[in-house]
Every structure is written in C-alpha cells, then in structure tokens.
Structure 1
Amino acid sequence: MVNDGFLKIFNNLPKYDSAQPFKAWVRTIMVNTAIDYYRSNKKYQLHIAVDEVEVTDFDDDVISKLSVEEIMGLVRKLSPMYRMVFMLYVVEGYKHKEIAERLGIQEGTSKSNLQDARIKLQEMIRIHYPHLFDIYAVRKNKLNEN
C-alpha cells in the first residue's frame, strides 16, 4: 500500500496545487490508497485458508452407539426449521425439492438447513457424549499409524 501510495504521489506531482499544503495532499493520497486496497481485498477477508479450517471428523459409528431416544432428544433441541427439514429429509425420505414445496422455501434453503442441522447435531453429540469421540479418535490414530 505504501509503495502504491508513493507511486500515485510521484505520478500525480504535476497535478499538485502548490496553493494547498503538501503534507495534506500526500496524506489524502495515502489514505485513499489504503481505502482502495481494503475495498479491493475485503472479499478475501471472509475466507479462511484451507489449512486453517478445523474439520470435524465424524463417523457413523458414533451415531450407532446412541439410542433412538438419545438421538431424538438431540433432534428436538434443534431450531424448528432445522428440525423440520432434518425430519422430512432423513426420517421421512423427502427430496429437497419436495421439502421446499411443502414448507414454502427455496430448495437451496432446504439443503442449507439440513447441512446446518447436521453440524448442530454433531456439535451436540460431541458436547453431550464426548466419550464416543474419544474412542473414535484413539481408533483412528491407530489406523493412521499403520
């Protein structure tokens, strides 16, 4: 940014009005250059590098160790829309298009709600049943060592 700012200053020296303070003119160019840089790179600030993403490793064996009552108890803790989409898709077997029509939402919203519901359930299982993940982590580490 500093280099770009000085480049703009040197390129625009003929445009400088000597009646105005030089320091203020330079400051304005530098500030505007920084703002331009921020705006042009703002879209990248929301992205996380692949190596920084924490992936929740989840195995179906964890679910199989829970009873139906335990799973349904966690499903009941989901928000109403997440619970509805989850139940219609996973339990009832509806497709996202059918769910969208029934609930009056977009198909993409149905997919998003299902994904969010699954993530929430994984988090709840990890919180309420941490021992299941400890067993899985030990087994996975042994497999990776071989």
Structure 2
Amino acid sequence: MLFGRKISFNENDFESVLTACIAGNSQAQRYLYKQFFSYSKSICLRYTSNTEEAEEVLNEAFLKVFNNLAKYDPAHPFKAWLRTIMVNTAISHYRKNKRYNEDTVALEDAPYPRFEEDIVSRITADEILQIIQQIKPVYKNVFLLYVVEGYNHREIADLLQINEATVRSHYVRARARLQHLIKQNYPHLFPSDWAVKAFKGNEN
C-alpha cells in the first residue's frame, strides 16, 4: 500500500534489504546503491570515455535495477545480475550516442603485429584495462564484452547491432591494437627483434 507501514530492513540480511528496496524504502535503496557503487562504477568506466559519462550510465543503470528488482531471482548471484544491467546499459548508451562510424574506424586500419599471449601475461589486469581505454570504442567494447564479460561473438553482434563477421574483425584488431599499445608503454617486455619477427609472421 502506498501509505502502509514502511518496511524495515537489516543491513546484515541482504534479502531484507532487497525486500525493502522493492517496497520503495528509500533508505534501503540508498544502502544498496552505496554498497555496490564502486563495483558498478568500475564496470561503467570501462565502456565510457570519462568519469562524467560513467556516472551518467551508472545512475541510469541503477534506476533500471530498482525498477526491475522484483524480477531478480535470488537463486542466482546478485552481483552477476547487477553486472548484466550495468553492461547492457553502458552498451545501450554507446549505441544511442553513435560513438563509432566508418571514419573513426578507418583511422585504425593500419596493420599491427600479431597478438603475443606471453607478452600480455606479464602485466597486470588493471594495467591492461588502463591501456584498453586508449583503444577506439568500437574495438574496445567488443574486446571487453568477449574477454571480460564472456559473451560470444553472436551475443556481442546482437548487443552492438552489427553482424558477427564484423565482431570477429573488431576483436582481432582490438587484440593487435592492445599489443601495439603495450609495446609503447612497456617496451622492456619486448625483445629488440620482436617487431620484425611479428610482422613476418603476419605475412605467412
């Protein structure tokens, strides 16, 4: 009831927090928002260009969280459910703002060395994520959705509203671009003759 008794919650009982949120308890909603703010913002930052944009996506995503909380299945991890909403909202924001076009993609159509897994494994995940931010959004989002979120190429194609072949092409170029940037930032990880060998390997 709109004017019924305000449902209370226990911060140590997550189920009671969710129940109170569904009932419209603003205090419970603020608590849930605060508890998952950092986690959610880190996801949004990956798919946006700056903090302001990330916070815009974050707030839009949390609105969806509260509006759809009654549909959440407690049999599944809440974080996974929340993460899906954050990612989908970020991708929707990306599509809506048309952050990619043929001209910007063409800027990165130059050949890059092949991807070397052993080189990438020598730097931390946080360092890789920082470097990924330097990649064009059209490539970055495909890479993140595939490598970090675990979507397959068909699912990514549906999310980004592009064909599957384009997704595969973008993923390959994202990997190559990532390594190109890693070489710029961490040249000590590469042997002096690496570039020559890598480009020769691409010709085979």
For 1:81, the aligned partner's letter is V
Match of 2:178 in 1: 121
After superposition, give the CA deviation of every residue in 1:31-56 in whole Å (9 maximum; x if it has no partner): xxxxxxxxxxxxxxxxxxxxxxx983
C-alpha distance in structure 2 between counterparts of 1:66 and 1:136, whole Å: 20
Return closer, same or farther for 1:103/1:58 CA change in 2, 3 Å cut-off: closer
Shift of 1:60: 2.0
Alignment of 1:82 onto 2:139: yes
For 1:80, the aligned partner's letter is P
Structure 1 runs not aligned, ≥5 long: 1-53, 141-146
Alignment of 1:65 onto 2:138: no
After superposition, give the CA deviation of every residue in 1:60-109 in whole Å (9 maximum; x if it has no partner): 22112101121011111111111110001111111111100111101111
Is the 1:82–1:117 Cα contact (8 Å) retained in structure 2? yes
Match of 1:98 in 2: 155
Identity of aligned residues (%): 42
Match runs of 1:1-146 below 5 Å: 56=113, 58-134=115-191
Q: How many residues align?
A: 85
54-63 or 96-105, which moves further after superposition? 54-63
Match of 1:144 in 2: none
For 1:70, the aligned partner's letter is E
For 1:75, the aligned partner's letter is I
Return closer, same or farther for 1:74/1:127 CA change in 2, 3 Å cut-off: same
Structure 2 runs not aligned, ≥5 long: 1-110, 198-204
After superposition, give the CA deviation of every residue in 1:96-136 in whole Å (9 maximum; x if it has no partner): 11100111101111011101111111110111111101289
C-alpha distance in structure 2 between counterparts of 1:90 and 1:57, whole Å: 17
Q: What SS does the aligned partner of 2:190 have?
A: helix
Structure ranking higher in helix proportion: 1
C-alpha distance in structure 1 between counterparts of 2:149 and 2:133, whole Å: 16
TM norm structure 1: 0.52
C-alpha distance in structure 2 between counterparts of 1:98 and 1:89, whole Å: 9
